Amino acid sequence: MTHLLIIGGSDAGISAALRAREVDPTIIATVVMVDAFPNYSICGLPFYISGEVPDWRSLAHRTRNEIESEGIRLLLNHTARSIHPDSKTVEVENAAGQMQAIAYDRLVIATGAVPIRPPIVGINLPGVYLLHTMEDSFRIHEHVTERYPKTVLIVGGGYIGLEMADALRHRGMQVTLVEMAETVLPVTVDTGLGRVVEDELRRNDVEVIRQVAIETIHPAGSSLAVSGSQGFQRTVDLVLVVVGVRPFSELAVAAGIQTGVRGAIRVSRRMETSAPDIYAAGDCVETWHRVANQNTYMPLGTTAHKQGRIAGENAAGGRREFAGSLGTQVVKVFDLAIARTGLREKEALESGFNPFSTASKTWDHKAYYPGAQEILIRVTGDRQSGRLLGAQMLGHWQSEIAKRIDIFATALFHEMKLEAIADLDLSYTPPISSPWDPVQISAQAWVKAQENHVSLNKEQVD
């Protein structure tokens, strides 16, 4: 019988094990994981810390018993120390420090990512936290529920930073959010939409500081004194550092396995690494971008699940290929939902397209029905072909922002032109939408603007 060994028990690792057992029930699947929390939703941690999800156990996609009932062996609190492709073994250390060599026929590396630790003096002080694991969330939860801090400074204006600003305001804390870039969500949406998000943060009494790099943290009695560039200084009770993640690929590198973008493990679209019978998936690997037609680094839970499933199927003898990612994402910040898919204009230009973008503002449903909210949509398409390249969207979180970005994502997946989006047969009732959905209205606006641009250029030539 084939022994499939998997390093990592989060989204990609468990998906790989489950799919391998579906394809070949005779496979022996063993998952080695460094903690005791298999298949937990790391994306849900801010909502546990806020108190909106009172029991951390409910964050499990599947319980330990459910996973083991599928015939999967879990080695909890075990750390993989080295991979030996020649002998097909992995050196594993248990919680007691005992080492053992586990043999495999096929291996899936699903080690995920680790938080970026910026060069801040004092980042290891008590009261300074990173948030990435279940243990991280327990420490922060204990701090906010037992010590009752009144003020917090969050370093980083990305997804987790904004969600934690929301979470800690939910607990009544005074929040200062510091972002080094020109606006919040700098790698997610364009500056104009980032400014709208900042307005929402300030409307909810979050202090937003931009273009400041935090440099030092020092004890100040029972508090923490934080300083940064441009003379920035604050004294707070709690500091949270969430500036992004990097692929955890050290095990693969030590085993001689090739890496690529940002040090992520290089994989084929079958999730094969450069070493025979070794696959990799999730936040530790490169991701093929379906629109850009090149590899990138894109640590997303949805992508990890898909890649893990493909790695597991192929490790069980399949030949399936990863269809590629579009980077489809959505985040809720107070009353706003912010979403994107595909390429922004700058990214499209870097990928060899001739991009053109338009911005639209429309109602989420018929304005005569009570409760109508405005949606902002930015669409990017290719001038020559008229093909959709990407979209960004922002509106009230109850305005179906997530599902509407999914329409764009589906159109991107099938390489649709903007003009064709107007032909989609979408549902309509006045309390929910309009005869032309906001997605279609924004696509029509792009087509009209492009036609006017072409017409103006023709007049200049004539």
Q: What structural domains does the chain harbor?
A: 3-114+246-315 (3.50.50.60), 128-243 (3.50.50.60), 329-461 (3.50.50.60)
DSSP string, 111-170: --EEE-----BTTTSTTEEE-SSHHHHHHHHHHHHHS---EEEEE--SHHHHHHHHHHHH
What was the pLDDT predicted at 451? 86
What was the pLDDT predicted at 259? 98
Beta bridge partners of 278: 107
Q: 3-state SS of 328-386?
A: CEEEEECCEEEEEEECCHHHHHHCCCCEEEEEEEEECCCCCCCCCCEEEEEEEEECCCC
Cα three-residue angle 50-56-62, rounded to 5 degrees:
135
What was the pLDDT predicted at 459? 44
| Whether the Cβ atoms of residue 360 and residue 376 lie closer than 8 Å to each other | yes
What was the pLDDT predicted at 452? 84
Q: What is the pLDDT of residues 66-79, one digit of tens each?
A: 999 999 999 999 99
Please check the confidence at residue 456 and state whether its pLDDT lies above 60: no
Q: What is the mean pLDDT of residues 310-318?
A: 97
What was the pLDDT predicted at 453? 73
Q: Report the largest interatomic distance among the alpha carbons of the chain, rounded to a whole angstrom.
A: 81
Q: What is the mean pLDDT of residues 305-326?
A: 97
What is the crossing angle of helices 401-413 and 438-461, to 10°?
A: 50
Tell me the backbone φ, ψ of residue 308, rounded to 5 degrees: -60, -40
pLDDT category at 53 given cuts 50, 70, 90 is very high
Whole-angstrom distance, CA of residue 160 vs CA of residue 244: 8
Q: What is the mean pLDDT of residues 341-359?
A: 97
What was the pLDDT predicted at 454? 60
Tell me the backbone φ, ψ of residue 370, rounded to 5 degrees: -55, 145
Q: What is the mean pLDDT of residues 163-188?
A: 97
Q: What is the pLDDT of residues 234-279, one digit of tens each?
A: 999 999 999 999 999 999 999 999 999 999 999 999 999 999 999 9
| Whether the Cβ atoms of residue 132 and residue 241 lie closer than 8 Å to each other | no
Whole-angstrom distance, CA of residue 419 vs CA of residue 56: 46
Report residue 190 CA to chain centroid gap: 17
Please check the confidence at residue 337 and state whether its pLDDT lies above 90: yes
Summary mean pLDDT of the chain:
96
Whole-angstrom distance, CA of residue 105 vs CA of residue 426: 48
Q: What is the pLDDT of residues 268-295, one digit of tens each?
A: 999 999 999 999 999 999 999 999 999 9
Beta bridge partners of 224: 219, 236
